[in-house]
Amino acid sequence: MTKKRFNPIKDKSSEIIEFLMSSPDIPDDDALQFKLRLSIEEAVDNVVRYAYDGGIGWLEVGTNIDGANPVLTIELRDAGIKFNPLDHEDPDISLNAEERQIGGLGIFLCKKMMDSISYRYEDGNNVLTMTKKLN
């Protein structure tokens, strides 16, 4: 697994996103990279903005390719406020922007772009795992 810990994370969203997108595990496919970047941006921004008071904390990110039918795994781990983004209802996208409740659109887009997203709370850490089949 290619991984790195960023500490502190305040004002480092772009650096974290670029680290993940430059991983040798990220395929050289523009359409796939668009989906991956969007999902990574949403997930990283959520942690940087909300996990820690003032952005003073760490975020460990990593990528891995697994299996004969390759699957890309992207993992984000932080020790911030316990928060499962998957617990919240998907926004009603049939409503126009003025009628929708604020929030939730980013993780909804991640769910649409990735093949799976899971959350667990482990050893005092939030762990968000996103996967994408590469075949």
**pLDDT by residue for the chain (135 residues), tens digit each?**
889 999 999 999 999 999 999 999 999 999 999 999 999 999 999 999 899 988 799 999 999 998 778 999 999 999 999 999 888 765 555 555 555 455 555 787 889 999 999 999 999 999 999 999 997
Would you state the pLDDT for residue 79? 97
Residue 74 burial (CB < 10 Å; 0-12/13-18/19+)?
A: buried
How distant is the alpha carbon of residue 107 from its chain centre? 8
CATH topology of domain 2-133: Heat Shock Protein 90 (3.30.565)
Residue 26 burial (CB < 10 Å; 0-12/13-18/19+)?
A: buried
Would you state the pLDDT for residue 95? 52
Q: Where are the domains of the chain?
A: 2-133
Would you state the pLDDT for residue 107? 81
